[in-house]
Amino acid sequence: MPIEIESNAKFAEYADPSTLVSTEWLQNHLGKDGLVVLESDEDVLLYEIGHIPSARKIDWFTELNDAVLRDYLTAEDFSKLLSEKGIKRDDTVVIYGDKSNWWAAYALWVFKLFGHPDVRLLDGGRDAWIAEGRELTREVEAVVPTDYPVVLRDDSKIRAFRDDVLAHIGQAMIDVRSPEEYTGERTHMPAYPDEGALRGGHIPGARSVPWSRAAGENGVFKSRAELEAIYLGEAELKNGEDVIAYCRIGERSSHTWFVLKYLLGFATVRNYDGSWTEWGSLVGVPIVKGAAPGALSER
């Protein structure tokens, strides 16, 4: 059975408060029947050096991706994975992770592709939990396997492919990479090694809003008013617009996807997981260099 939704003044401002929990709420609900806590980190060993008591690990690199195709799990794989993790279809799943929930949001997005009904993020993630001095453990609790149903992945609503993006040019798009990646000065994150795209720049018309701007102190999400100032103000998104977000491989943009969809309430937001590693290497697609969003005709 789903667990009750947290109600507090900050979350009440958001479009869909049912997708977030606070550290305080989680602390008070740990061990409750029907609650599963998952940690999803960028550093694959962080869970091992200490995690929230009773949390299970989910590994974005080895568990959420297909081992051969550049794609996510199949319905059968997802069912097997969640069964092994002891998750039931009607469980409330709370996901948290490092770096302001960057990879936690990515895992949540994959859960949503399979339509898991109740999945929430821990506001602030791992860093907020630690900053508040809350308990961590290295103990890994035994899991009772479940029989998670085989549910088809629905790529039509929250995922965009390259042809969708091509057709979308001229409509709202957010590029969540660093400014240097956006302008085309570089094809990878500053201080990170180059992971390969043949061209630098951005998709015509895409506005630049680096993903981490949605997070404030301790990695918690900024207030609704602050987020509106960024996405509706600076980036000039209009309520009701269809939006596509992208980054380099689709992880940072799932964080922005979460913000736009659940915190600001855009009905149609898609994450383009092919992102720059695909677009920047595709033959013949339009690219804009420099700080201005540009348009298709300018090519």
Partner 1 sequence: MQALEEIVEDFNALGLKDRLNLLLEFSDALPELPERYASHPDLFERVEECQSPVFLFVEVDQDDIVSLFFTAPAEAPTTRGFASILKSALDGHSVREVLEVDDDFPSKIGLSDAVSPLRMRGMRAMLARIKRQVKEKSH
Binding site for partner 1 (CB under 8 A): 42-46, 48-49, 61-62, 98, 191-193, 195
* Set 197, 247, 259, 288: catalytic member: 247
> CA–CA separation, 202 vs 280, rounded Å?
8
> CA–CA separation, 89 vs 262, rounded Å?
21
Give the rounded distance of the alpha carbon of 254 from its chain centre.
3
Toward partner 1, which CB reaches closer, 123 or 251?
251
Toward partner 1, which CB reaches closer, 69 or 283?
69
* β-sheet with 119-122: strand ranges across: 20-21, 119-122, 92-96, 35-39, 56-57
CA atoms within 13 A on the CB side of 274: 16
Is residue 247 flagged as an active site residue?
yes
Give the rounded distance of the alpha carbon of 184 from its chain centre.
24
The nearest distance, CB 278 to partner 1, in angstroms, is 16
The nearest distance, CB 61 to partner 1, in angstroms, is 5
CB count within 10 Å of CB 84 equals 14
Toward partner 1, which CB reaches closer, 44 or 232?
44
User: CB-based contacts of 114: which residues, under 8 Å, 6+ apart?
Assistant: 75, 78, 151, 152, 153, 154
Toward partner 1, which CB reaches closer, 43 or 298?
43
CB count within 10 Å of CB 9 equals 7
The nearest distance, CB 164 to partner 1, in angstroms, is 26
Toward partner 1, which CB reaches closer, 45 or 283?
45
The nearest distance, CB 119 to partner 1, in angstroms, is 23
> CA–CA separation, 37 vs 33, rounded Å?
11
Catalytic residues: 247
